[in-house]
Structure formats: C-alpha cells, structure tokens
Amino acid sequence: MQAAASMTVRVRPAAGLMLAVGCVLVLAAISLFVGVADMPLGDLISGDGSAQAIQLLLVSRIPRTVALVLSGMSMGVAALIMQMLFRNRFVEPTTTGTVEAASLGLLVVALLAPGLPVFYKMVVASGFALGTTFLFLRLVSKIPAGSSLVVPLLGLMFGGVINAVTTFFAYRYDLLQSLATWTNGDFSGVLRGRYELLFIAGGLAVLSYLAADRFTVAGLGESFTRNLGLNYGRIVASGLAIVSMVSAAAVVTAGTVPFLGLIVANLVSMAVGDNLRRALPWVAVSGAGFLLACDIIGRVVRFPYEIPVGTVAGVLGSGIFLFLLLRRRARFG
C-alpha cells in the first residue's frame, strides 16, 4: 500500500527499478556469451555453422542464465519473506535449517524411493523444509527476545544438527557427493531439462507480490496483524510454504547459495525500506543480478575453469555480511 503523498514523490524509484532491470538484462546477455565453448555472435546471426552455436545456446547457455535469474530472484524473495515472519534481519533459508531439512528430505527420497520423479522429490523436500522451519519458528518464539543475533546463531546450530544427521546417512550409503551438490550452488551443470522446476520457485516469488501487504503487516508483529483483522497464522503458514518450496526447488536443481538472500534483502531494506510492495520487486531484481554477477565472476576468474557460484557468493557475501553486522552494531551500540 503506497501512502498518499508518496504516490507522487516515488515516481523516480520506479525509474530506478527499470534501470536495475536493464542492468540484469545486460548481465544476462553477458552470461549467455561467457563460456568455455566459443559461440561468436556472428555465427548465430549469419547462419553458417550456426546450428552448433544455436544448439549450445538452447541447451546450455539459455538454461543456465534463466536458472540463475529464477534462483536469484526466488532466493531473495524467500529471504525477505522469512525476515518478515521471523521479525529478524539475519534469517534466510540457510540460517534457519530450512535448506538442511530440504537436503535431508531429498536424501530420504534418494534412499527409500530413488526412482521417484524429480517433481515429487521436490515435494518431499519442501515438506521436510516446511515442517522444520515451522518447528524452528516455534522454538524462536519461545526464547526471550534478546539480541537479534541469537536467532541466526541458533538457526545455524539447528541446521548443523540436521546436517550432521544427513551427512551420517549420506556417508553410510555413499551419497556424500550428491549431498554437496544440493547445498552448494553450482550452475555449471544446468542443462535443458534439468532446471525447469525453478520456474515454480520463480512463479512463487512473483505470486508472493499479491500478499506483499500481508507479509509487511506480519513483520509488524502478531498484535498488529490481529488488530488489523488479518489471520496471522494463515499469513505465516503461506509465507513458510513459499519459502520451503523455493528452498526445495533450489536444492533439487542447482543447489542453494548461502547468504545470497540475506544480503540482498538487507541491502534493499537499507535503500528502499521494508514495505514489501516496494521492496519485493527490488529484492527479486537485485537477487537475480547478484547471482548472475557472481556466476559470471566464477566463470571468468580462472578461465577456462569454473569456480562454483556458491563459493564466489560466499566470499563476496561474507564480506558484505560482516559489514552489515558491524554497521548494525554501530547504529544500536
């Protein structure tokens, strides 16, 4: 809900958003043309020898770029929604055990029903993620409100415990390698036919805009929400469902990228605030842009070898995260 006076004042940020979309499109174009195999633009247009180039474009480059955009935007949106529901700036699916639970779910499927179609694998993984995140939310609401850092610390430990269980079974059944690919984002393996579930995550991210006001109100707290006549439990449940499905889709396709959503959501909050009507589009666009940039860096730094995007994002991200922590302390200390 845009407030009365801001309608006129905030025309410019809309232009800013357009500019940001433009930047993402440029990054996406670069992403299409960076890779080990040569794919000169001329070949695509001229027509001679183009069959191979077009094949490369359709099977590898476009899927990879689309997957990056979908993952980036949905992870950013998931993190922002989660930060509203937990009322904490430092949560996102990788700091609350959500992703670890999705991996555990996927491992359970790999052990018990390895032949299950990938869509159902995702459903099971999101079920695990949803249950665990809900449990964690209940746990957090029980601990007294103290430092806002307690929640992500608890979440990281919680995730660590789940991960220990997963690792134990993965080790026993020789699945450690698969486990690594689920949680460490790497888009080098993305090919046509192996990323399409991300469209569900992207679709959910877009759909969540319809409930933007409700998530903002939930961020004000349960009393505010109920005072305004909204069903707090229903908002939390739908938000966690979106977060879980996005996390599960990421885990079963290219893997998650730790801290991506957290950083993007915090930067956007500083710049445009937390009114989700305005912040959600920004988070989606910045998430896509940040992930594309990290992936391009990972492809270029040691060309022709690749560094997984999760590693690049981790290095860049932990730096920014540290900056956020110190800045926050300076403000409140």
DSSP state of 146: -
Binding window for another protein (CB under 8 A); candidates: 94-102, 158-166, 210-218, 294-302: 210-218
Burial class (CB in 10 A: 0-12, 13-18, 19+), 30: middle
In contact, 296 and 34? CB cutoff 8 Å: yes
Choose which of 65, 216, 244, 256 interacts with another protein (CB under 8 A). 216
Site string for another protein, 38-57 (x = CB under 8 A): --------------------
Size of the site for another protein (CB under 8 A): 31
Whichever of 46 and 231 has its CB closer to another protein, that residue is: 231
Whichever of 145 and 191 has its CB closer to another protein, that residue is: 145
- Helix or strand holding residue 134 (H, E): helix 118-142
Q: Does the footprint of another protein cover residue 273 (CB under 8 A)?
A: yes
Q: Report residue 203 as tokens.
A: 């679709």
Q: Report residue 289 as tokens.
A: 């842009």
Footprint (CB under 8 A) of another protein, residues 127-186: 145, 148
Minimum distance, C-beta of residue 287 to another protein, in the bound complex (Å): 18
Longest dimension (CA), the chain: 68
Binding window for another protein (CB under 8 A); candidates: 52-60, 173-181, 252-260, 272-280: 272-280
Q: In this structure, what is the dihedral angle of CA atoms 80, 249, 210, 221, given to the nearest 10 degrees?
A: -40
- Helix or strand holding residue 74 (H, E): helix 62-86
CA 149, 327, 296: angle at the middle one, nearest 5? 90
Question: Which amino acid is present at 259?
Answer: F
Q: Does the footprint of another protein cover residue 299 (CB under 8 A)?
A: no
In contact, 89 and 151? CB cutoff 8 Å: no
Minimum distance, C-beta of residue 213 to another protein, in the bound complex (Å): 4
Q: Does the footprint of another protein cover residue 316 (CB under 8 A)?
A: no
Binding window for another protein (CB under 8 A); candidates: 50-58, 67-75, 172-180, 223-231: 223-231
Minimum distance, C-beta of residue 288 to another protein, in the bound complex (Å): 22
Q: Does the footprint of another protein cover residue 286 (CB under 8 A)?
A: no
Binding window for another protein (CB under 8 A); candidates: 32-40, 115-123, 170-178, 221-229: 221-229
Whichever of 160 and 233 has its CB closer to another protein, that residue is: 233
Q: Is 217 left (phi over 0), alpha (psi -120 to 50) or beta?
A: alpha
Q: Does the footprint of another protein cover residue 2 (CB under 8 A)?
A: yes
Question: Which amino acid is present at 116?
Answer: L
In contact, 248 and 269? CB cutoff 8 Å: no
Q: Does the footprint of another protein cover residue 62 (CB under 8 A)?
A: no
Question: Which amino acid is present at 72?
Answer: G
Minimum distance, C-beta of residue 9 to another protein, in the bound complex (Å): 7
Whichever of 22 and 233 has its CB closer to another protein, that residue is: 233
Q: Does the footprint of another protein cover residue 6 (CB under 8 A)?
A: yes
Cis ω before 117 (30° cut-off from 0):
no
- Helix or strand holding residue 18 (H, E): helix 11-33
Whichever of 17 and 25 has its CB closer to another protein, that residue is: 17
Q: Does the footprint of another protein cover residue 239 (CB under 8 A)?
A: no
Minimum distance, C-beta of residue 3 to another protein, in the bound complex (Å): 4
Cβ neighbours, 10 Å, residue 269? 17
Whichever of 148 and 181 has its CB closer to another protein, that residue is: 148
Question: Which amino acid is present at 301?
Answer: V
In contact, 291 and 260? CB cutoff 8 Å: yes
Residues of this chain that interact with another protein (CB under 8 A) are 1-6, 9, 87, 89, 145, 148, 213, 216-217, 219-224, 226-231, 269-270, 273-275
